[in-house]
């Protein structure tokens, strides 16, 4: 791994608990990592520690095989060759774009600097704008200048702390895809902080979900959504509900009974012995619930949201449980109407009943580590 953070911990004086506690993650050269989580979860503190701006209480940080941080060895930030892009871009208002971008090139021969400025401005799509000033640029253009300035010295690692937070939602989504393309074109290794999971999914090769200083899962977007390692990850990533379920063995196969009836054709499922009496909660995402008029289970629509191609329906089952379903928008139903529902789940993610948002479901991985997979 090019960036290797091992069991990293950060404590602030007088704090009851560590701001960052036991975080381990890695990035290969050229990969983009993203840290997401609610405000105050420790993601920006972790980013600052990697930059060399926070001392470590325990753990270590290695960059390109070199140890740059530990409780006893702290390489100064200016010697780490790390670039940073901040929330407010931190552009110098009295300098034009060219001089802003050239600011980090003081170690290069003066004759080489203009060519490098033109090169990175072309990379971010701002060719020929060297003489413009920050106040003459849109928010998206200012963000690109800040990115160009950070890339200009060719840092070993680029850190980005919520660089889109001051932009409107539509622009943020577009820039997220553009940023990934720019970083990949530059061959940059980067770690990005956001609280927006759509940004994370658009940018990251690997995504880490943090809560209360701990890294709950470091994985790709598909695994975070379909195989969350903890209940918090399951709640934070995507929409879904936790429905009561019972696992049992019948003719050598695991049966999963839910308020929507038994689940069929399940490829992966925990063994009933993973939970007392097989009682657990099963995660049902919005795409796990299918509108089917022929299904024996029905739900009453208690809330709906129009999303163009789809409606997001919140439905109350006869058992009193609530589920959510995405239904094509030409299937238009009214509040209070009852519609048929069935679950279409190919693998089961389960948790202890009433485990709480931050609780892990097992020793490792989603569900329990006692798994039944039909042959």
CATH number, residue 32: 3.40.50.300
pLDDT for 361 equals 35
pLDDT for 174 equals 82
Residue 233 lies in a domain: no
Are residues 296 and 219 both part of a single domain?
A: no
Are residues 165 and 61 both part of a single domain?
A: yes
Query: Which among 56, 102, 54 is positioned nearest to 77, based on CA atoms?
Result: 54
Q: Which residues pair with 207 in a beta bridge?
A: 34, 219
pLDDT for 357 equals 54
pLDDT tens by residue, 109-152: 999 999 999 999 999 999 999 999 999 998 889 989 999 999 99
User: How much is the pTM?
Assistant: 0.87
Average pLDDT, the chain: 90
Q: For 29-43, 94-108, 324-338, 351-365, which range has the lowest pLDDT when averaged over its residues?
A: 351-365
Are residues 335 and 215 both part of a single domain?
A: no
Are residues 254 and 178 both part of a single domain?
A: no
369 has pLDDT over 80: no
Residue 12 lies in a domain: yes
- pLDDT-above-90 percentage for the chain: 75
Which of 191, 226, 261 delimits the end of a domain? Answer: 226
Domain that holds residue 343: 240-372
pLDDT for 266 equals 83
375 has pLDDT over 50: no
What tokens appear for 308 in the block? Answer: 């163009």
pLDDT for 43 equals 96
372 has pLDDT over 90: no
Which of 226, 257, 283 delimits the end of a domain? Answer: 226
Residue 266 lies in a domain: yes
Residue 276 lies in a domain: yes
pLDDT tens by residue, 225-247: 999 999 999 999 878 899 999 99
337 has pLDDT over 90: yes
pLDDT for 356 equals 62
pLDDT for 170 equals 75
Residue 171 lies in a domain: yes
pLDDT for 258 equals 94
pLDDT for 61 equals 98
pLDDT for 240 equals 86
pLDDT tens by residue, 145-175: 999 999 999 999 999 999 888 777 777 878 8
Are residues 157 and 250 both part of a single domain?
A: no
pLDDT tens by residue, 186-216: 999 999 999 888 899 999 999 999 999 999 9
User: For the chain, how many structural domains are there in total?
Assistant: 2
Residue 102 lies in a domain: yes
Higher pLDDT, 356 or 289: 289
Are residues 210 and 244 both part of a single domain?
A: no
CATH number, residue 346: 2.40.50.140
360 has pLDDT over 70: no
């Amino acid at each position: 791994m090019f960036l290797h953070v091992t069991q990293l911990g950060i404590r602030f004086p007088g704090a009851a608990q560590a701001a960052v506690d036991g975080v381990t993650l890695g990035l290969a050269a050229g990969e983009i990592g993203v840290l997401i989580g609610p405000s105050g979860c420790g993601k920006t503190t972790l980013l600052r520690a990697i930059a060399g701006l926070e001392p470590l209480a325990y753990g270590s940080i290695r960059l390109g095989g070199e140890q740059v941080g530990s409780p006893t060895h702290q390489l100064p930030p200016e010697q780490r060759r790390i670039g940073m892009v901040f929330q407010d871009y931190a552009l110098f208002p009295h300098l034009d774009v060219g001089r802003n971008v050239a600011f980090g090139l003081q170690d290069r021969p003066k004759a080489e600097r203009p060519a490098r400025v033109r090169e990175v401005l072309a990379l971010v799509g701002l060719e020929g704008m060297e003489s413009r000033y920050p106040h003459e640029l849109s928010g998206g253009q200012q963000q690109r200048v800040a990115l160009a300035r950070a890339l200009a010295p060719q840092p070993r690692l680029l850190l980005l702390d919520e660089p889109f937070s001051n932009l409107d939602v539509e622009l943020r989504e577009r820039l997220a895809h553009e940023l990934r393309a720019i970083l990949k074109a530059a061959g940059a290794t980067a770690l990005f902080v956001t609280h927006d999971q759509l940004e994370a999914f658009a940018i990251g090769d690997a995504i880490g979900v943090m809560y209360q200083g701990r890294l709950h899962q470091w994985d790709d977007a598909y695994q975070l959504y379909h195989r969350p390692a903890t209940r918090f990850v399951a709640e934070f990533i995507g929409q879904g509900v936790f429905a009561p379920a019972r696992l049992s063995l019948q003719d050598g196969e695991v049966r999963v009974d839910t308020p929507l009836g038994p689940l069929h054709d399940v490829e992966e499922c925990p063994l009933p012995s993973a939970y007392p009496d097989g009682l657990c909660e099963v995660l049902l995402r919005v795409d796990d619930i299918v509108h089917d008029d022929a299904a024996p289970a029905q739900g009453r629509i208690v809330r709906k949201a129009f999303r163009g191609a789809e409606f997001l329906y919140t439905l109350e089952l006869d058992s009193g449980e609530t589920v959510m379903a995405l239904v094509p928008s030409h299937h238009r139903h009214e509040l209070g109407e009852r519609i048929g529902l069935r679950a279409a789940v190919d693998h089961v993610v389960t948790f202890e009943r009433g485990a709480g948002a931050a609780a892990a479901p097992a020793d490792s991985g989603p569900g329990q580590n006692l798994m039944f997979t039909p042959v």
